[in-house]
Chains A and B, each alone.
Chain A
Amino acid sequence: MPDGKTLSAEEFVVQMKGITKVYPNGVAANQGVDFNLRRGEIHALMGENGAGKSTLMKMLFGLEQPTSGEIIVNGEKLELTSPSVAIAHGIGMVHQHFMLVPSLSVAENMVLGMVPRKSGIFIDRAKAIEITREYSEKFNLKVEPEAKVVDIPVGMKQKVEILKALVRGARILIMDEPTAVLTSQETAELFVELKNLKNQGYTIVFISHKLNEIMEITDRLTIMRNGRSMGVYNTCDVTKEDISRLMVGRDVVLSVQKDKAVPGDTVLKIRDLEYVNEWHKKMLDKVSFDVRKGEILGIAGVEGNGQKELVDMLFNFNVPNSGTVTVNGVNILGMPQRKIRELGVSLVPEDRMLYGIAAGASIEENVISDRASEKHLNNGPLFNMKAIHEEADRLIKEYTVLCKSRSQHVGMLSGGNIQKVVVAREFSNDPVLILADQPTRGIDVGATEFIRKKLVELSRSGIAVLLVSADLNEVMELSDSLIVMHNGQIAAYFEDTAGLTDEIMGEYMLGLKKQTEEEVRRACHD
C-alpha cells in the first residue's frame, strides 16, 4: 500500500527528509520523519495529540527549525528560519487559533504588514478592499471586506485566514484542524472551497482527526504516531478501520500492577451536563456518569471532544448551560474553589504552569497552598513553621521530589518534578475525589510511572479517581472502567477495561462506532 517510490522527485512540491526535532527539554517530537507533498493534492496529516504533526508543520512554516534533516521546496533546499522565509517561498499556514486582529476590518487584516498606500503614508482603503474582493472572487471565498473581524462568524474568519495566505502568494496551504471550530454547514462550504483551490493547482495539507472528512476530501494521507511517520497512503486505498488502527495504538505497553477494584458508594455524580461554547458549538451533550469510591474511571478521547470543558465544570472554571454535578450529594456547580476543596475534591490541572504552581515560590509554599489556613499548620495568628517544614519534607520525601531543599523555587525544577509537587499537594489532602487531568503529559518516564502507581494506590485505598487523559496507554492501563468521549458525547462506556484493544478504542475515539443509549447509561450506577 505505501507508495512514493514510483514517483520522480520533480512531482513533489515539498520534500521533508529525515526530519528530527528534539526540543531543549529533551522531548523528541519528530524522529526521522519523511513527508512529501505532490503538486495540487490535498494531503491529510493525521495522528493523535502529541504525535508530532504540529511540530512537523511548524518546521515547514519556519516557526521551528529541525535538529536534523532537510526541507526541499520546489526542488530547492531551504533553511526556513522564520515564517517570512516560508511565506516568500509560497508556504502559508492557517492556524487553528486565528491570527487576526478583531477590531480591524477584514480588508485591513488581509493587508496587514503589506498595506497598499497612497501619498506614502495613508492606507489605500479602496485598494485594500479591491484586493480583498479580487481574491475573494478569484477563489470563491466569500467575505465582507468592510466588516470588522470581531463581528463576522467563525467560518468567515477562516476564509479571511485562507485569503491572507493566498494574497501573500502561498501555493502550499497548511491547515491546522480547520474544521475543529466549524459547524457542519460551514465545513461543507470549506470543502467546496478547498476542492476549488486544488483544481487551481494549490497544494493543501489538511491536519485533522475526523475520518469522514479525511475520506471525503483528501487524496493521500500521512499518519504519525509518537513522533514517527507510520507511512503514506492513497486515501482511496485505505479504510477508516485501517487508519484508526495505524493512528491509535501503543508502542510500548507499560503495565501497572493493580488489584481488581471494589467500587463503593458513588462520590461524583454527573447528570445531563450540557455546554454550548461562545462560538455556539455544543461541547458537552447530555453527559452523565458516576465515579465511585475505590475505582478509577478513565476518560479517553481525542483532544477537543469535550474533556477540557468537562473538567472545567467540575472545578468551577466554567458553568454549564444545564445539568447537575454533585459530590457526595452536594451540588458543586458554581461553587467557589475553596468550598469545592473543602468537600474533598482535588484537581491535578492540565495546565500545571498556569494553575498548578506558583513558579516564583518555594516548594514548601507550593505544597501548602490548599491547606495554609488549616489548624495543624498554624499557631494562633502565625504559621507553625515546624509543622509546615515537616509537612513539606515529608511530601518531598514521599513523592521523591528531586530538589536541593524545600526552599528551592519550583520554577527551577524539571517538568517531572514540578508535576510531583502538584500531585504531592493534591494527593495528600485527604481527598475523597481526585480529578487527574492529563497527569503525566510531557514529563519523564520515572515521574510518569511514579504518578501512575500513586493513583492506583490511592484508588485502592478508597478514593474515587477520575482520570482524563489523551494518552491511550495511560488511560487503558490505569482505568477500572472507561468512558470514550467523542463530539461532546459519551461514545462508549466499558465497565471493565480487560480485553479492550487499541482497535476497539480507536473506532470509538474517531467516531466510527457509538454505543446505544442504554449501553452508555450503564455509566450511571443508580
Chain B
Amino acid sequence: MLNFLKILATPEFFFSIIRISAPILFATLAAIVVEKAGFANIGLEGLMMFSALSGSLVSYYAGSWFWGFLAALATGVLMSLLMGFFAFKLKTDIILVGIAVNMMGSGGTLFLCKVITNLTEGKAMASTTGLITKSLCIPDITIPLVNKIPFLGAVLSGHNLLTYLAFLFVLLTSIMLYKTSLGLNIRAVGENANAASSVGVSVLRIKYIAMAFSGLMSGFGGAFMSMAYAQGWSQDMVSGRGFIALAAQAMGGGECLGGMLSALVFGFAQALGIKFSAVGLDSNLASPIPYAVTIIGLVVFAVVRNNRIKKQHSAAALAKSAEK
C-alpha cells in the first residue's frame, strides 16, 4: 500500500493526470458551450473519432502535422454544422443526431480509413499507426525555466502543445462566454431565446455558432487523440471520452472552471487505473473507475442541486409566512 502511494507521489503520475485530462477537457468545453446555448451535443464522441482520423491521415499525406491538425479542426467544424442542419433545419431530435454521428464515428471511420489507405497505399489498413511517425505528431513543448523547478517542472513541462492549449482554452472559453458579445448572446439564447430574439439576436445563428464551437473543440480533442496521445488513429480510440465530457459538464455546474476540475478528476481516475496495472492489478479493474466516478459525480451533483432548490423553496415559504 505504502509502495503504491509512493508511485502516486511521483511527478510522472501528476504529469499523466494532466495529459489524460486534456482530450476530456476539450470535449467538456464543447459540451459547456452548447449547453449554455440551450441544447446538448451528444455526438462529441463521433466528432472526435472523425477528427482524429482526418488529422492523422492528412498529416501523413501532407507530411506535416500542422496540416493534419488543421484538417482535424475543419472536420470537427464541418461535421458539427451538418449536425446543426439536421437538428435545426430538419428538426431531428438533437439526441438522435448525436447517436447517429457516434454510430458513424465508430465503424464509419474504420471504413474510411480502409478505403483511403487502400487507395493510396495499395492495402486496406485498419489503423494509421503504421503510417505515422513521431515527426507527424503534434510536438511536445519543454518550457524553459519551468522545467528546472524540481518536481513541478517535471509535472508541468514537456507536455504536448495541445495539452497546453486545452488548459488555455479553459480561460479563452470562459472569456468568450463572459467577456464577449458573442458569449452574451449565447447565454441569452440558451436561457431565454424569446428575450434574445425580441431584441434582434438571431437565435438560429447563435445555435449554429455554438454547434461549430463544439465541433472545433472536438477537432482539438480528436487531433490530440491521434496525433499526441497515440501515434496514429485506431478504431474506437476515443473510448467514451465524448460521453465522459457530458458528465463533466454537468458535474462542473456548466462552468469552465468546474468543468476543468471535473475533467481532472476523470484524468486522475484514469491515471490511477494505469498505475493499478503497473503494480500488477488487472487494468480491467481500474478501467471502469472513470465511468463509475462519472455516475457518482452526477449523483452528488444532483443531490446538491436538489438540496439547493429545496432550500430556496423553503426560503420562499419562510418569506411568505413572514408576510402574513
Which A residues form the contact surface with B (CB < 8 A)?
83-84, 87, 95, 98-104, 108-109, 112-115, 117, 121-123, 164, 168, 274, 276, 278, 280, 282, 321
**Given A108-B184, A112-B188, A115-B184: A100 touches B320 (CB 8 Å cut-off):** no
Q: Are A123 and B199 in contact (CB under 8 A)?
A: no
| Interchain CB contact (< 8 A) of B194 among A99, A102, A117, A121 | A99
**Given A101-B196, A276-B323, A280-B323: A123 touches B316 (CB 8 Å cut-off):** no
CB distance from A164 to the nearest CB of B (A): 7
**Given A276-B323, A280-B319, A321-B320: A99 touches B195 (CB 8 Å cut-off):** yes
Number of A-B contacts (CB under 8 A): 72
**Given A276-B320, A280-B320, A280-B323: A122 touches B188 (CB 8 Å cut-off):** no
Say whether chain B's binding surface is mostly helix, strand, loop, or mixed: helix
Q: Are B188 and A101 in contact (CB under 8 A)?
A: yes
Segment at the interface with A among B43-51, B81-89, B174-182, B284-292: B174-182
CB distance from A417 to the nearest CB of B (A): 26
| Interchain CB contact (< 8 A) of A112 among B182, B185, B316, B323 | B185
Q: Are A114 and B192 in contact (CB under 8 A)?
A: no
Measured between beta carbons, the chain B residues less than 8 angstroms from A83 are 198, 200
Chain A, residue nearest B180 (CB): A121
Measured between beta carbons, the chain A residues less than 8 angstroms from B321 are 321
| Interchain CB contact (< 8 A) of B179 among A87, A112, A123 | A123
A108 to B183 Cα, complex, angstroms: 11
A123 to B185 Cα, complex, angstroms: 11
A100 to B287 Cα, complex, angstroms: 46
Report if B159 contacts A (CB, 8 A). Answer: no
A101 to B199 Cα, complex, angstroms: 12
* A-facing residues in B155-208 (Cβ within 8 Å): 179-185, 187-188, 191-192, 194-196, 198-201
Q: Are A114 and B320 in contact (CB under 8 A)?
A: no
| Interchain CB contact (< 8 A) of A104 among B184, B200, B324 | B184
**Given A103-B191, A121-B180: A112 touches B320 (CB 8 Å cut-off):** no
Interface centre among B184, B317, B319 (most CB of A within 10 A): B184
Which B residues form the contact surface with A (CB < 8 A)?
179-185, 187-188, 191-192, 194-196, 198-201, 316-317, 319-321, 323-324
Measured between beta carbons, the chain B residues less than 8 angstroms from A113 are 185, 196, 199-201
Interface centre among B185, B188, B195, B321 (most CB of A within 10 A): B195
A-B contact pairs, 14 of them (CB 8 A): A99-B194, A99-B199, A101-B187, A101-B191, A101-B196, A102-B191, A103-B187, A112-B185, A112-B195, A115-B181, A121-B181, A122-B180, A276-B320, A280-B319
Q: Are B192 and A102 in contact (CB under 8 A)?
A: yes
Measured between beta carbons, the chain A residues less than 8 angstroms from B319 are 280
A225 to B268 Cα, complex, angstroms: 69
Q: Are A101 and B180 in contact (CB under 8 A)?
A: no
Q: Are B200 and A99 in contact (CB under 8 A)?
A: no
| Interchain CB contact (< 8 A) of B196 among A112, A117, A122, A278 | A112
Q: Are B182 and A121 in contact (CB under 8 A)?
A: yes
Measured between beta carbons, the chain B residues less than 8 angstroms from A112 are 184-185, 188, 195-196, 199, 201
CB distance from B6 to the nearest CB of A (A): 46
A95 to B197 Cα, complex, angstroms: 14
**Given A278-B316, A321-B320: A99 touches B181 (CB 8 Å cut-off):** no
Q: Are A99 and B316 in contact (CB under 8 A)?
A: no
Measured between beta carbons, the chain B residues less than 8 angstroms from A100 are 192, 195
CB distance from A176 to the nearest CB of B (A): 13
A117 to B183 Cα, complex, angstroms: 12
Measured between beta carbons, the chain B residues less than 8 angstroms from A280 are 319-320, 323
